[in-house]
Structure 1
Amino acid sequence: MAVIEREPIELSKGWEIMEKGITKLKNILEEKDEPQFSSEGYMKLYTLIYDMCIQKAPHDYSQQLYHKYRETFEEYISSTVLPSLKDKHDEFLLRELVKRWSNHKIMVRWMSRFFHYLDRYYIARRSIPGLKVVGLACFKEKVYAILNEKVRDAVISLIDQEREGVQIDRALLKNVIDIFVEIGMGKMECYEDFEAAMLKDTAAYYSRKSSNWIFEDSCPGYMLKLEECLKREKERVAHYLHSSSETKLIEIVQQELLTEQVFVRKTIELHDKYLAYAEGSFKNHSLFHKALKEAYEVLFNKIVAGSSSAELLATFCDNILKKGGSTEKLSDEAIEETLEKVVKLLAYISDKDLFAEFFRKKLARRLLFDYSANDEHERSVLLKLKQQYGRQYTSKMEGMVTDLAFARENQNHFKEYLSSNPHLNPGMDLTVTVLTTGFWPSYKSSDHKLPAEMVKCVEVFREFYQTRLQHRKLTWIYSLGSCVIKGMFDSKSLELSLTTYQASALLLFNESDSLSYQELKSQLDLSDDDLKRVLHSLACAKYKILNKDPNTRTISPTDVFEFNAKFTDRMRRIKVPLPPVDEKKEVVADVDKDRRFAVDASIVRIMKSRKVLGYQALVMECVEQLSRMFKPDVKVIKKRIEDLINREYLERDRENPNLFRYLA
C-alpha cells in the first residue's frame, strides 16, 4: 500500500488563514457585528497551528509562530488599544483601561487556546515564557509602562475626592487596582508603585487637614475627626484597596493627625483650663482636684488610635527637644514651661515605665545622631523627672548624657594619638562614640564583615583604646554607624551620607561590576532582614544608586545588582535613608521583660521582711509597691510567684497552699 505524504503548509499561507481567525477575534472584542466562534471554527485554527508545528524541518514553524503570537498582541495594542486610551483623562481613562484590560485577558485566553500546542511541546522543552505570560507581559510593557503614572494620578485624585465627601464609583477603583495586582503576575511591584504614591499623597492630605483642624476644633472634636478618618481609611481598604495597605494607611493617619499635631498639646491646654477652674472658681476645693485627677487618669490610660499616652508623651517631648522638631519656634522659657507640664501629666499615666523606655530610646537617637537642639533642656527634663520619680527612674538616661561628654573627651585624645603617630593614620576621618553597656538601649551587634578601608580604622582605634583602658572590651555596634563616601558617577561626583551597612555594600562595587544577592550576603555577613533593607534603600527607593535585575520594588534572594553610573542628583550631597523600623513592639517587649524582674524583686523584698505571708496579702502588697511605676497584672504576679518557688526562693506551706514561706 502506498503512503501519500501531505504537502507541508507554508508559513505565509498558514498565517494568512490564521490572521482571518485573529481578525474575527478582534472584531468580537471591538463589539463589531461578528458571530462568536463555533467549535468547528476553533478546532480549525487549533489544528492549523498543530499541523504547522509537527511538520518536519525546515517546515516546523514553532519558533516563528511563537514570535508571531507576541507580534499579534503588540500590533493590536499599538493600532487599537493605545489610540483608544491616548486622549482620555481621569475617570474616562480608568473606565477605558478597565475595558481594555478585560478584553486583553479574553484575547490572551483565546489565543492561548489556538496556540496551545506551543505551550505543550515547544515552550515546555525550553526555558522561555509561556503563552499566557507573554500575552499579559505585552499589555504591561506596551500599555501599563506608558500610562501607569497617568492612571495612578487619576486613581489618587478620586480617592482624595472621596475623602472630601464626593461620591465616587468604588467598583471602578476596585477594578483598576485589581489591574495593578494582576499585571504583576504573582508579584506586587506594580501595586507597590501605586501604593507608594498613594501613601505619600495620603500623608500630604492629612497634613493639610490637621493644620486646619487643630485650630478649628476642640480636643474632643479633633479626636472624633481622627477616629472618623481611621474608620474611613479602613472602609477604603475593604472596598477597593489591597488588604496589605491597611496597616500603612492607619499608621500615616495616626502620624499626621496624632503624632505630628500632638494630641498632647491640646490635652495640656485642656488640663490648664480645668486646673484654673479648680484653683480659681472652686477655690482649690479638694473635691474638684480629685475629679480632675480621676478624669485625666481615665483619659491618659486609654489607647488613643493605636498609641498609648506614654508613647505620645515621649514623642511630644522628642518633638520639642530635637533640632527642627517643634512645629513652632518656642522660647527657652516656653520650652521649660511645657516640659514642666508634661512631667505633671505623666502623674496620670499608670505605665510610667513605658514612658521612660520610649523617652530613653528617643533620647538615645538625639544624643547619638546629634539631633538634640539644646543640652540644657535635655538635662532640665531629666532633673524634673528625677525630682518627681526618683533617681532610679532617670539613672540610665543621666548615664547616657554623661557618656556623651566622656565620648567627646575620648575623641579628642584619639586625635592627639593620631597626631603623635602619623604612620597609624587610617587615611580617613574617624569618630568613635564609646558607650557604657547598661545605660543605653540594647542594640543589635553582628559579625558584619567590614570593607578593608574600614577594618583599618577599627584596628587603629582598638590599639589606641588599649593604651588607655586595657581591661575593657570593645563591642562594635555597626548598625548605629554612619559615614560619608564619594560616589563617582558619569555626570558628576556626589557625596553620599550613608549608614555603615549601606557604605559597606556600595564599596564592594569598587571591585565588581555586578554582584548577586547571595554574593553580597556572603561578603557582608548580614542577616536577610538587614541586607534587604540596605539593598531596598540603594536600589528601590528614592535614590537608585544600584540597578537591580529584575527591576522590581521588592528584594529577592535571586536578584542581581550593579552600580548605576548614570545616577545623578541636583544636590552635591545626599542622605540615603534606610526604611524605618517599627520600634514600638521592641520597646513594649523590653518593658515587659523589665517588669518581670521588678515583680520578682518586689516579691522577694516583701517575703524577706515578712518571712511568711498569705497569697492575697502578698499580691496586694506587691501591687502597692509597684503601682508607682506601672499597674502590675495579677496573673503575672501569680506566675512570678510560681517561678520563684521553682527557683527555691519561696516555698508553699504543706498544709495551706495559699501560704508562702521565704527561703533564705
Structure 2
Amino acid sequence: MQNPKRKPFKIEPFKHRVEMDPKYADRTWKLIEHAIHEIYSHNASGLSFEELYRNAYNMVLHKFGDKLYTGLVTTMTKHLKDIALLIEAAQGGLFLEELNRQWADHNKALQMIRDILMYMDRTYVSNFNKTPVNELGLNLWRDHIVKIPKIRDRLLDTLLDLVHRERTGEIINRGLMRNIIKMLMELGASVYQDDFEKPFLDVTADFYRIESQQFIECCDCGDYMKKAERRLNEEIERVSHYLDPKSEVKITNVVEREMIANHMTRLVHMENSGLVSMLVDDKYEDLGRMHSLFRRVTEGLATIRDVMTSHLRETGKQLVTDQERLKDAVDFVQHLLDMKDKYDKIISIAFSNDKTFQNALSSSFEYFINLNTRSPEFISLFVDDKLRKGLKGVSEEDVEVVLDKVMMLFRYLHEKDVFEKYYKQHLAKRLLSGKTVSDDAERSLIVKLKTECGYQFTSKLEGMFTDMKTSRDTMQGFNTLLAASSEHNDGPSLAVQVLTTGSWPTQPGAVCNLPAEILAVCEKFRAYYLNTHTGRRLTWQTNMGTADLKATFGKSRRHELNVSTYQMCILMLFNSADYLSYKEIEQATDIPTADLKRCLQSLACVKGKNVLRKEPMGKDIDEEDMFHFNDSFTSKFFKVKIGTVTAQKESEPEKQETRQKVEEDRKPQIEAAIVRIMKARRVLEHNNIVAEVTKQLQTRFLPNPAVIKKRIESLIEREFLERDKIDRKLYRYLA
C-alpha cells in the first residue's frame, strides 16, 4: 500500500508588526552618557560594564550607531573643554603636573569607554570609515587641550625653560618631562615635531652658538674640546631620558655644527694649544678627543689631516736640510726613525689607526726624505753602523724591529738603486773586515730587500755571501797545503777572500807595493788558486784588506796592531829606517795620495793611536812632513785597533763619481724597459711610453723623462724603434 503524498507547508509572517519603543535610542544613550560622565568624574566603580556594553551593542544593532558615535564626540569634547580650563588655571610649576595628571586620567577614561563601545569600534566604525574610539580620544585631546593657544604656547615655553635650566646645571623632574614628551609623541609625529622638536632645535642652536663663542674666547683648544664633548654627551643622555630616540641625530647635528664645524679651523690653528702643539707635545688624549669630535662633521678629519700633513712636511723639510744634522748620517736617520715612531704612535693611539692618516704620514715622509739627495747614502750608513757596532743590550727580535723600521724609510726612497750602490760598498767592508755583528741580521735585511724590490736587486749582494763561504773553503785548502809544505815557516800568514768581479764594488787600479815578505806568500796563494781554478785571473785589492802586526815599543812593550793593508805597508818600512819623509813613503808604497794622507793621519795624528810621530806636529799631512817610529807609544790594551781617518760621508768628488756611475747604470735599465714595452705594444705614443717606463722602474728609481727621451733616441739610432712618418710623437717597434 502506497503512502499518500504530503502537502508542502509555508511559514507565514506575523500578522502584526513588532513595534520598537520610539524613545529606546534616547533612553539607552542617556544611560551610556551618564556612564561616561561618571567615568570622567572617577565614579566608575558603581557602573555595570556588562550592561553598558550590551546597551551599546543593541544601539549599533538597531542602527543607532551614528547617534552613539556623535553623542560620544559631543560628551568627550565637553569634558575636555572643562579639563582645559583646569589646566589653564594651574599656576607656575603646577601647570605640567596638572597636564600630566589630566592626561593620565583621560587615558584611563578612554580605556573604559573603549571597552564599553567595543562592538561599535569593530562594526560601525569600520563600516562607515569613522575614527576608532582610542584614536578619537587622542585627536580630541590634541585639538581641545594641546592645540589651544593658551596651553600650546605655555607648554612649549615651560618645556624649553626646563631644558635650559637643566643645561645650566639645575636638576629638573625628568620623569614629568618624559611623560609630557611621550604625550606629544602619542598624539602624532607631527605634534611632537611641530609643537616641540623644531622650536627645541632652534633654541638649542642659539644656546650653543652663544656658548661656543664664549668658550672659544676664554679656553684653549684642549679645554674647549672637553666642554664640547661633555655637551654632546649631555644631549645624547637627554634624548635617552625623555626625548624621542629619533631626535638624537638631529640634536647631535646641531651641537656638532655649532660647537665643532663652525670653529674647527680656528681650533686646529690655535696658538700654543692647537693641533700642531698637541702633535709636538704628544697629547694623545686631546688628539684622540679631537679626532673623535671632528670625525662627526663634514671635512672634519680632512682638516686635521691637512694640518698634520703640512706640519709634518715642514718639520721634515727642516730636518733633511739642516746642515748640522747632515754632519752625522746615523743621527740624521735616527731622527727620521724617531719621528716615524712618534707619528705612528699618535695615529695608533689617538687616530684609531685611520688608514687615511697613515697614507698622509707615508706621503709626507716620501716627500721630505727625497728632498735630500743623500738620503739613500745616509740610510745605508745607518744600517752599516748598526750592523757593525750592533745594538747594545738588545735581542735579535729588537734588531729585526730596527731593520723593519729602516725598510720603511727605504720604501719612501725614489732612488733605491742609489741605496743599493752604497749598501753594496758598506756590506763589502763589513764582510771583508769581519766586522758584521750577525750574519743572520745581514741575511735578514737582504731577504727584506728582495721581498721589496725583487731578486735582481739583491742577486749581487747574495753573491757576496757566496764568495765569502767559497773563500773560507779555499783558505782551508791553502793552509793545509802550507802546513804540509817543507817551506812552511814562521813567516806571515795570509787570509784571502776571492771576490767575483761584478758582484763586489771593487776599485781596479787601487794597488800598492806590498812588502817582500807579504808578496812572497801572496805569490804562493796565486799559484795554488790558479792551479786549482784554471782560466781565472787574480787582481789584488789592497785597498780593501786588513792586517795584524806584532810591534815592540821601547825595549819590551809589545802590542798587536790591527791596521789596514795600506797602513801595514807604511809601518813595515820602519823596520829598516828610523826616519822617512812623506815623499819617501809615497815612492816606496805607491799608495794613492788621498789614501796615503788618511793613513798617515790615523797613524801619527790620532791621540792614543799615534804609533808614528810627525814633524812638524799638526793635524794635517803635508808633503814636506817627516815621520819616525814612536818608541814611547803606550796603551793599556795589548790589541790596538787603528782605524783610518776618513769622512763617514762621501766627499763632493766621490759623491759626483757615485752619481755618475748610478746614471750610467740606469741607461741600460731604461732601454730594456722601453724595449719590453714596445715589443708588447708595437706602436705607442711618447707620453704613454714615459708613463709605462716610470711605472715599471719606480721600484728601483724614478727615471727622468728627459733621460727616457734620450734613450728612445738612442734606440732609434740603433734601429730598435722608428718614428711614425706622419705623427712624430708616435713610435713603432722594429722586429
TM category (shorter chain) comes to 0.5 to 0.7
- 1:510 correspondence with 2:575: yes
Of 271, 287, 291, which residue of structure 1 is paired with 2:344? 271
Contact 1:608 1:662 in 2 (8 A): yes
Q: How does 1:383-394 map to 2 (within 5 A)?
A: 383-394=447-458
SS at match of 1:347: helix
Of 237, 258, 269, which residue of structure 1 is paired with 2:332? 258
Which residue of structure 1 lines up, in the alignment, with residue 591 of structure 2?
A: 526
By how many angstroms is 1:230 displaced? 8.5
Which residue of structure 1 lines up, in the alignment, with residue 627 of structure 2?
A: 561
Of 634, 640, 665, which residue of structure 2 is paired with 1:594? 665
SS at match of 1:561: strand
Which residue of structure 2 lines up, in the alignment, with residue 629 of structure 1?
A: 700
Find the aligned partners of 1:459 and 1:500 in 2 and give their Cα distance: 16
Deviations 1:124-174 (A, max 9, x none): xxxxxxxxxxxxxxxxxxxxxxxxxxxxxxxxxxxxxxxxxxxxxxxxxxx
Find the aligned partners of 1:314 and 1:302 in 2 and give their Cα distance: 17
Which residue of structure 2 lines up, in the alignment, with residue 614 of structure 1?
A: 685
Amino acid at match of 1:597: P
Deviations 1:76-130 (A, max 9, x none): xxxxxxxxxxxxxxxxxxxxxxxxxxxxxxxxxxxxxxxxxxxxxxxxxxxxxxx
Amino acid at match of 1:390: G
SS at match of 1:497: strand
By how many angstroms is 1:500 displaced? 0.8
Contact 2:325 2:332 in 1 (8 A): no
CA, structure 1 residues 583+652, in 2 after alignment: closer, same or farther (shift >3 Å)?
Answer: farther
Of 304, 314, 321, which residue of structure 1 is paired with 2:380? 314
Of 325, 333, 345, which residue of structure 1 is paired with 2:390? 325
Find the aligned partners of 1:533 and 1:250 in 2 and give their Cα distance: 24
- 1:493 correspondence with 2:554: no
Deviations 1:514-540 (A, max 9, x none): 222222222111222122222222223
CA, structure 1 residues 364+297, in 2 after alignment: closer, same or farther (shift >3 Å)?
Answer: farther
Find the aligned partners of 1:225 and 1:393 in 2 and give their Cα distance: 28
SS at match of 1:423: coil
Which stretches in structure 1 are left out of the alignment for 5+ residues?
1-214, 232-246, 283-287
Find the aligned partners of 2:603 and 2:573 in 1 and give their Cα distance: 13
Which residue of structure 2 lines up, in the alignment, with residue 347 of structure 1?
A: 411
CA-atom RMSD in angstroms:
3.4
Amino acid at match of 1:518: K
Contact 1:623 1:631 in 2 (8 A): yes
Amino acid at match of 1:598: Q
Find the aligned partners of 2:495 and 2:684 in 1 and give their Cα distance: 56
Of 363, 366, 370, which residue of structure 2 is paired with 1:300? 366
Find the aligned partners of 2:281 and 2:344 in 1 and give their Cα distance: 19
- 1:377 correspondence with 2:448: no
Amino acid at match of 2:445: V
- 1:416 correspondence with 2:480: yes
Amino acid at match of 2:415: D
Amino acid at match of 2:449: L
- Structure 1 stretch 460-469 or stretch 585-594: which is displaced more? 585-594
CA, structure 1 residues 612+256, in 2 after alignment: closer, same or farther (shift >3 Å)?
Answer: closer
By how many angstroms is 1:503 displaced? 0.9
Contact 1:445 1:478 in 2 (8 A): no
Find the aligned partners of 2:714 and 2:402 in 1 and give their Cα distance: 44
CA, structure 1 residues 329+571, in 2 after alignment: closer, same or farther (shift >3 Å)?
Answer: closer
Deviations 1:270-299 (A, max 9, x none): 335525777xx37xxxxx425422431231
Contact 2:312 2:364 in 1 (8 A): no
Contact 1:483 1:499 in 2 (8 A): yes
CA, structure 1 residues 658+332, in 2 after alignment: closer, same or farther (shift >3 Å)?
Answer: same
Matched-pair identity in %:
35
Amino acid at match of 2:358: L
CA, structure 1 residues 570+340, in 2 after alignment: closer, same or farther (shift >3 Å)?
Answer: closer
SS at match of 2:627: strand
SS at match of 2:606: coil
Which residue of structure 2 lines up, in the alignment, with residue 56 of structure 1?
A: none
Contact 2:506 2:541 in 1 (8 A): no
CA, structure 1 residues 339+303, in 2 after alignment: closer, same or farther (shift >3 Å)?
Answer: closer
Of 538, 546, 551, which residue of structure 2 is paired with 1:474? 538
Find the aligned partners of 2:733 and 2:425 in 1 and give their Cα distance: 37
Find the aligned partners of 2:638 and 2:424 in 1 and give their Cα distance: 35
Find the aligned partners of 2:405 and 2:447 in 1 and give their Cα distance: 14
- 1:396 correspondence with 2:495: no
Contact 1:226 1:257 in 2 (8 A): no
Contact 1:364 1:400 in 2 (8 A): yes
Find the aligned partners of 1:306 and 1:574 in 2 and give their Cα distance: 38
CA, structure 1 residues 309+520, in 2 after alignment: closer, same or farther (shift >3 Å)?
Answer: closer
Find the aligned partners of 1:309 and 1:433 in 2 and give their Cα distance: 31
Find the aligned partners of 2:680 and 2:319 in 1 and give their Cα distance: 53
Of 633, 643, 665, which residue of structure 2 is paired with 1:577? 643
CA, structure 1 residues 312+301, in 2 after alignment: closer, same or farther (shift >3 Å)?
Answer: farther
Contact 1:264 1:316 in 2 (8 A): no
SS at match of 1:484: strand
Contact 2:722 2:731 in 1 (8 A): yes
Amino acid at match of 1:437: T
- How many residues in Structure 1 have an aligned counterpart in Structure 2? 423
By how many angstroms is 1:476 displaced? 0.9
CA, structure 1 residues 217+547, in 2 after alignment: closer, same or farther (shift >3 Å)?
Answer: farther
Contact 2:683 2:732 in 1 (8 A): yes
Which residue of structure 2 lines up, in the alignment, with residue 13 of structure 1?
A: none
**Higher RCO by CA contacts (8 Å cutoff, separation 6 or greater):** 1
- Structure 1 stretch 290-299 or stretch 433-442: which is displaced more? 290-299
Find the aligned partners of 2:320 and 2:700 in 1 and give their Cα distance: 34
Find the aligned partners of 2:717 and 2:316 in 1 and give their Cα distance: 52
Find the aligned partners of 1:594 and 1:478 in 2 and give their Cα distance: 26
Amino acid at match of 1:439: S
By how many angstroms is 1:312 displaced? 4.7
Contact 1:353 1:630 in 2 (8 A): yes
Find the aligned partners of 1:502 and 1:384 in 2 and give their Cα distance: 37
- 1:549 correspondence with 2:615: yes
By how many angstroms is 1:656 displaced? 4.0
CA, structure 1 residues 644+268, in 2 after alignment: closer, same or farther (shift >3 Å)?
Answer: farther
Contact 2:387 2:441 in 1 (8 A): yes
Contact 1:297 1:349 in 2 (8 A): no
Which stretches in structure 2 are left out of the alignment for 5+ residues?
1-279, 284-307
TM-score by length of 1: 0.57
Q: How does 1:27-38 map to 2 (within 5 A)?
A: none
Larger Rg: 2
Deviations 1:560-592 (A, max 9, x none): 323233333333321222111455425544433
Deviations 1:584-641 (A, max 9, x none): 4255444333222211221222233334433222212211211222211112212222
CA, structure 1 residues 537+334, in 2 after alignment: closer, same or farther (shift >3 Å)?
Answer: closer
Contact 1:545 1:564 in 2 (8 A): yes
By how many angstroms is 1:321 displaced? 3.3
CA, structure 1 residues 551+264, in 2 after alignment: closer, same or farther (shift >3 Å)?
Answer: same
CA, structure 1 residues 527+388, in 2 after alignment: closer, same or farther (shift >3 Å)?
Answer: closer
Find the aligned partners of 1:606 and 1:226 in 2 and give their Cα distance: 37
SS at match of 1:629: coil
Contact 1:302 1:309 in 2 (8 A): no
Amino acid at match of 1:659: L
Find the aligned partners of 1:337 and 1:573 in 2 and give their Cα distance: 34
Q: How does 1:79-478 map to 2 (within 5 A)?
A: 251-252=326-327, 254-255=328-329, 257-259=331-333, 261-271=334-344, 273-274=346-347, 281=352, 288-303=354-369, 308-322=374-388, 324-326=389-391, 328-424=392-488, 427-478=491-542
